[in-house]
Structure 1
Amino acid sequence: MMQNGWLKYGISATLLWAATIAGAQDATDTLPSVWNLNDCIEYANTHNYNINTQRYSKESSQQNLLLSKSALLPNLYGNGSFSVNHTGAGIANPSQESSTSTTGTASVNTAWTLFNGGYLRKDIQQKEIAVQTAGLSIDENINNVELQVTQAYLYILLDKETIIYNEDLIKTSQAQLEQMQQQFAVGSAAKKDVIQLEAQLAQDKYNLVTSKSTERIDKLTLKKLLLLPSEVDFDIVKPDTIFSLELLPPLQDVQATALDFRPEVKISELSLKSQELSLAKAKAGYLPTLSLSGGIGTNIGNTTSYSLGFSLDNSFYQQAGVNLSVPIFTRRVNKTNVALARIGIKQAELDLQNTKVTLSQTVEQAYINAVNTQNQYVSAKEQLVYNTEAFRISSEELKIGSLNMVGYIQQRNLYVQSLQQFVQAKYNAAMSLKIYKFYKGEPFTLN
């Protein structure tokens, strides 16, 4: 019987595990295998850990607000007690009879705060600000995640383009090596020239492996931001165009727009309002508190011999009262609370100023980055054009034997270096431009 029980338990656990795995598999089967940037951003906004943590924080703030509003209402408590006492016949006095007595109370009580210096009203306003702040924190996290997702997406695109030009370089090196081997076979090339091209091909293959490994790492980074399981098949769409030169919006306009709508500024402004309410709440400690209380109840009692029961006697009572509490000496509690609240206001004002200055400087840095990367892109593109033509000429000269291997390798390295700089400059310029325009309120998109 014991073995059968364990067998049934094992089968049930296995079926439950299989159902769980099947459910998870069904969830991942609905996901696309190829994602564009908009897919990534939308999925991250729904599933990202930090964003959802802030959503739960907002829900907690909403519950605290409901609790604060309920403090304006009267409370109601029911209380009751019941006990049984038994006294047996005495040994010294056998004529004494056994007896059992029952006692108890039952009551309903209420209390209602009528006035407390406006503390409860101010507390409600403060909790409302906390809910607004939590909502803005969600927006702030969404902005941060969208930026991180876009950066990770562009890094993968950069990796893909790096893989493509590394594959092209391998093809070029293989062709040059085959040609040099043919020339060596007929005695028109030295062995060391063949060896140098073999070494160059090996280096190109190593670079290709490295670029593929970098792509895998960057894909994993993006999957972490999306909170995707590692076993999910994942790749991204490469758009037709990544970057094109365009006129940048004026710096002052972007700064003004950012200061007007960015959530971090609004959070600092709400923090200042919350501190001002804390001061009002602290001052309420100097004022009297007026409350209303009431209750109804009864006493339950009975005494019998060799029997158990109870009856409702005539002690049913009703009570109502008004309570007034006036603070006379609080051992500096109120004074300290007011002083701390004033300090909190000063700190909140400082934080607001710092947030605005930091945001303005961040926007200016984004503008400088956008200008610099666009200029670097133009220079890198021009340099690549010249080095590509120079490398083409060097390859032709190597074929006819008018250029030695040292000169060819040097020119090839210049071409590879300029190609790498161009690709990097293109993605840097694209990212810098999108970040700058994001502070203007434009969403992250790829053409």
Structure 2
Amino acid sequence: MPYLLMGLCCIVIPMNPVIAQDTTQMASLKWDLQTCLDYAKKNNIQLNSLRLSQKTSEQELLLSQAGVLPNLYGSATQYATHNNTPAGTSGDYKSRVFGSGNYGLTSSWTLYQGGYLRSDIQQKNLSVESANLSILQQENDITLQITQYYLNVLLDKETIIYQQNVLSTSKAQVDQANERFKAGSIAKKDVTQLVAQYANDKYSLITSENAQRQDLINLKQLLQVPTSTQFDIVVPDTILSKKAIVSLYSVQQIALANRPEVKNSQLGIDIAKVGLNKAKSGYQPTLTASGFIGSSYAGSTPGYFTQLSNGFNQQVGLSLSVPIFTKRLNKTNVAEAKINIDQAQLTLKDTKTALSLNIEKAYINVINAQNQFDAAEEAFKSNQETYRVANEQIKLGVSNMVEFLQQKTLYIQALQQYIQAKYNAALTIEIYDFYKGEPVKL
């Protein structure tokens, strides 16, 4: 059974809510393309992994934002001390146990770090945006993959319908030939040839049914639907295989301005530039304010609270750290940050080039596919009519059996080419339109 070419999908929509289904409910459903897309966007492991990465980026942003705030630590130390002390003037000693403790609060606050903290917050913000774009990019990839697999199954279904009709016709021809053989109007050889053709048609139908089962399994695996679920798809009323094609330049410009992979690569440059600012901040001094309040006590004389009051102390200070010699650390960090910018710019250029080439391939594919569809449709109609006439002639006994079977073979080949071209054209249209921002729909 011919398959849609995997290479047509160069890479993986308006959202409708996906209703949560248990296994029994899903087993009773036939899903249309939109339901498949919505289910995949909600349950796909790669997408959910990217969503977890996004949450990690958000937590890192919150941590970075908190970096501009002062910290505060509390400490408490308690001791129990045992010793021997002189007992008057007799020279004797007595044993005693007494308590002591220290309590305090310590805080520090980075007042200036060469703009590092501000740059770090900016960089983490960009990382969150990049994580969001990565999710959109993966959704696009999955959308095209599911569309291709979905159309594979539709191709199988239509092929099966046509081959069932062919098999039904073959059965009728065999029955009629047997009647004519009994009447002595045709030779046994002709009957045998029709029986052999019927067996071939039956084999072709079984092959197509097997292909449909395999393609459904492939779609289930891509969707990550439980293997125990009896899964099928909805056949749309019509398949669009002909459409006016927007110019290549227009689609390329739309895609370059809106596709998430391009925006993500542009963000990569911004992230690298902020990284350079962070590296340069290593040359700047760091000014930190610190403070401490605390108290202590030891023994029971004077009283506990009296000692805490008398021992209460406060301390405030400023600390200035100036990098004088860092063993090339800052110089290396700045050099590497500049290299990262150059690398990010190359990545953007490569992304744009690859996207433009993919769109050009999609444009060529859609033009070629529509031309092939036109030719296949014309050939199918011609062979269909010729086969119809040959079928009538064989019924009347005025046609050679070999010529009839040859014409039937040509008809079946034209039929397969027509169905293949039909769904091939539909897929190329969806891929090309998807690049210009149109949602996939059948």
The 1:185/1:117 distance shift into structure 2, 3 A limit, reads same
Return 48-57 or 378-387, whichever deviates more. 48-57
The whole-number CA distance in structure 2 between the counterparts of 1:88 and 1:181 is 125
For the residues of structure 2 that align with 1:88 and 1:167, how far apart are their CA atoms? 107
* Structure 1 counterpart of 2:288: 291
Q: CA RMSD in A?
A: 2.4
Alignment-derived partner of residue 220 in structure 1: 217
Structure 2 unmatched ranges of 5 or more: 1-19
Question: Match for residue 79 of structure 2?
Answer: 83
Which consecutive residues of structure 1, in runs of 5 or more, have no partner in the other structure? Answer: 1-23
Q: Does 1:324 align with 2:324?
A: no
- Residue 199 of structure 2 aligns with which residue? 202
> Is the counterpart of residue 407 in structure 1 residue 369 in structure 2?
no
TM-score relative to the length of structure 1: 0.87
Out of 49, 56, 77, the position equivalent to 2:52 is: 56
User: Which of 241-250 and 426-435 deviates more?
Assistant: 241-250
Runs of 4+ in 1 over 6 A off after TM superposition: none
Q: Is the Cα contact below 8 Å between 1:366 and 1:432 reproduced in 2? A: yes
| Structure 1 segment 29-428 matched on structure 2, within 5 A | 29=25, 33-87=29-83, 95-302=92-299, 312-313=307-308, 314-428=310-424
Q: 1:367 to 1:394 in 2, by over 3 A?
A: same
User: Structure 2: which amino acid aligns with 1:432?
Assistant: T
Structure-2-length-normalised TM-score: 0.88
Shift of 1:303: 7.1
Decide whether the 8 Å contact of 2:27 with 2:231 is kept in 1: no
Q: Distance in 2 between matches of 1:430 and 1:166?
A: 21
Aligned mates of 1:267, 1:251 — CA distance in 2? 23
Residue in structure 2 matched with residue 6 of structure 1 by the alignment = none
String of CA shifts for 1:235-282, please: whole Å, max 9, x gaps: 222222102422201111111100111000000000000000111100
2:431 to 400, 417, 435: 435
| Number of residue-to-residue matches in the alignment | 417
* 2: CA distance, partners of 1:27 / 1:204: 37
How far apart are the structure 2 equivalents of 1:258 and 1:218? 31
Contact 2:269/2:341 (8 A) holds in 1: yes
- C-alpha change, 1:63 and 1:27, in structure 2 (3 Å) is farther
Secondary structure of the equivalent of 1:97? Answer: strand
Q: 2:91 and 2:155 mapped to 1: Cα distance?
A: 104
Question: Offset of 1:119 from its aligned partner?
Answer: 0.4
Q: 2: CA distance between counterparts of 1:30 and 1:245?
A: 34
The CA deviation at 1:28 is: 5.0
